[in-house]
């Protein structure tokens, strides 16, 4: 099942559902890169709250999505990593180096809001 | 006293089977009585091992078995494929080493999160990973 992407202002919100398949993640990467251009998006939030496991493939693909988005001019925040999932990632040696994370959707939006405001300030 | 209950076999022929394998493993881990943290560690280890089957051997099989060994209870996981096998096991178990299809954390990572881990492989003979997690 493809990951639904919502557009909220100039932020894209992708809410990953449980039992995510590899191809859905790869599709998400393409969709995010394309929609950033179409909607002139400045921020991307990837909500992984529903995921009970983040394995090496998922971790690598999330990093790719964030780096691709950055090259397209948008900041990405991964939100909602559950405590057990975070613990298991650390034990296995998986990291999301260079990718911003936030506790939940609200914190993620606040993080992106701060970045956008900074940009506005810089423009003046 | 050594008791083995019925095996649960999952064919790994497609990337979607990775999800099935980790869901079944979690169900069994819940039945055995593992904590939610350990369930997640088991599901993650299976995900990595099953993905290796798809990436390197195309197809294979994951067997899940509930183990009661005296006072110890746990979960046995056997992942078997008839793929090309691994020439240098020591190298394959090294953190960060990969032949290019992954991050190189799967095998060493799975070993870290399980209690017992055994990798048997040689070129042309396929690969068998045997892992156990004991109930704490």
- The ipTM assigned to this model is 0.86
Name which of B16, B108, B113 is nearest A88 (Cβ-Cβ): B113
Is A5-123 a CATH 3.10.20.740 domain? no
Which pLDDT value is given to residue B98? 77
Q: What is the pTM of this model?
A: 0.89
| Region A34-47 average pLDDT | 95
Q: Report whether B74 contacts B32 (CB < 8 A).
A: yes
- The DSSP H or E segment spanning A122 is helix A105-123
* pLDDT band per the 50, 70, 90 thresholds, residue B3: low
Helix (H, G, I), strand (E, B) or coil at B30: helix
Identify the closest residue of chain B to A55 by CA–CA distance.
B44
Q: What residues contact B38, with CB distance under 8 A and at least 6 apart?
A: B29, B133, B136
Domain locations in chain B? Answer: 2-134
Return the structure tokens found at B103: 């991050």
Chain B contact for A84, CB < 8 A?
A: yes
User: What residues does each domain of chain A span?
Assistant: 5-123
B47 to chain A: closest CA residue = A55
Element (H, E) at A6: strand A5-8
pLDDT in tens, A100-111: 999 999 999 999
Q: Does B55 touch chain A (CB under 8 A)?
A: no
Task: Tell me the count of A-B CB pairs closer than 8 A.
Answer: 71
Q: Does A18 touch chain B (CB under 8 A)?
A: no
- Taking only the tens place, the pLDDT of each residue in B30-80 is 999 999 999 999 999 999 999 999 999 999 999 999 998 888 999 999 999
Q: Which contiguous run of DSSP H or E holds residue A27?
A: helix A22-39
Residue B103 near chain A (CB below 8 Å): yes
Per CATH, the number for B2-134 is: 3.30.565.10
Q: Tell me which chain A residues have a C-beta less than 8 angstroms from the C-beta of B16.
A: 21
Cβ burial, residue A28 (10 Å; 0-12/13-18/19+): buried
Average pLDDT over residues B4-28: 91
Split at pLDDT 50, 70, 90, the class of A124 is very low
Mean pLDDT, residues B104-122 taken together: 91
Distance between CA atoms of A87 and A91, rounded to whole angstroms?
6
- Under an 8 A CB cutoff, do B40 and A57 touch? no
């Amino acid at each position: 099942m493809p990951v639904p992407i919502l557009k909220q202002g100039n932020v894209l919100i992708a809410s990953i559902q449980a039992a995510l398949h590899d191809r859905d993640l790869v599709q998400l990467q393409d969709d995010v890169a394309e929609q950033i251009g179409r909607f002139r998006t400045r921020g991307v939030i990837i909500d992984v709250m529903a995921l009970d496991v983040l394995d090496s493939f998922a971790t690598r693909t999330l990093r790719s999505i964030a780096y691709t988005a950055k090259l397209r001019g948008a900041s990405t925040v991964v939100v909602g990593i559950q405590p057990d999932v975070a613990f298991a990632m650390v034990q296995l040696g998986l990291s999301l180096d260079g990718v911003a994370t936030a506790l939940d959707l609200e914190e993620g939006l606040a993080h992106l809001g701060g970045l956008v405001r900074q940009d506005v300030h810089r423009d003046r | 006293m050594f008791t083995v209950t019925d095996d649960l076999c999952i064919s790994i022929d497609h990337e979607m089977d990775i999800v099935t394998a980790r869901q079944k493993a979690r169900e069994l881990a819940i039945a055995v009585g593992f904590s939610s943290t350990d369930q997640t560690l088991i599901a993650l280890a299976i995900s990595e091992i099953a993905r290796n089957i798809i990436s390197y051997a195309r197809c294979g099989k994951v067997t899940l078995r509930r183990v009661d060994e005296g006072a110890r209870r746990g979960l046995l996981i056997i992942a078997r494929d008839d793929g090309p096998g691994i020439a240098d096991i020591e190298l394959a178990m090294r953190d960060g080493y990969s032949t290019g299809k992954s991050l190189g954390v799967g095998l060493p990572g799975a070993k870290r999160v399980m209690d017992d881990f055994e990798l048997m492989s040689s070129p042309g003979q396929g690969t068998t990973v045997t892992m156990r997690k004991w109930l704490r």
